[in-house]
Amino acid sequence: MQTYLNLSIILQNRQILYIYKPKEFAKKIGVSVSTLRRWDREKRLVPLRTETNHRVYTDDDIFKVLNLEKPSNQGKIVVYCRVSSHAQKDDLQSQIEAMQTFCLAQGIAVDEWHSEIGGGLNFNRKIFLSLMDRIEIGEIKSLYIAHKDRLVRFGFDYFERMAKRHNCQIIVANQEKLSPQQELVEDMLAIIHSFSSRLYGLRKYKKQVKQIIKENP
């Protein structure tokens, strides 16, 4: 079967599998690239090869190495709700209740409900990262959110494409009333503060350079 490395997918047995380069795969499973080479020589884990004879690995290899049971094609249906601060607990509860009403009206049998308190600009949220990891290994087939910014404030399209690559669909209920305006204000202020700090640092650096030049004509 032909490999299309430039598309980062391989068509094999009519399934679309995500491809990892050796360095990416080694980091994902917690070993070194030299260990992967040794496993290849020992036939313990034989990777796929591209037309240019480069080694590549797939999600199937992750299941082999970690001795995990490969999830069924069904996957889980998951709902994710989020607010930015503990002061918004009432908003979080309203969001959960609204998503319950939405899923009930749509006849959606939800397997898991997850809620989290954390900023939309923070990509290191514990539950968020866990869901992304599970999407990558095929455990989740549908992820429901009230609004795009409940997942992330910026970069939603990237995560949506990533999910599709792993046969997961992110469904947005598009309930804008569940996207607190105060959060947007706080996130914008955080961005402005970040850029302001950088500009201050650049001005300070420029001043130091001028001083050095002045002292060393």
Cβ atoms of residues 168 and 135 within 8 Å: yes
As given in the structure block, the two tokens for residue 125 are: 């949220």
Which one of the listed residues 8, 32, 72, 84 is annotated catalytic?
84
94 catalytic, yes or no? no
Cβ atoms of residues 46 and 38 within 8 Å: no
Burial of residue 107, with CB atoms counted within 10 A of its CB: 0-12 exposed, 13-18 middle, 19 or more buried: exposed
Cβ atoms of residues 19 and 62 within 8 Å: no
- What is the maximum span of the chain, computed from C-alpha positions, in angstroms? 76
Q: Measuring CA to CA, how many Å separate 193 from each of 53, 185, 186, 196?
A: 48, 12, 10, 5
Residues taking part in catalysis = 84
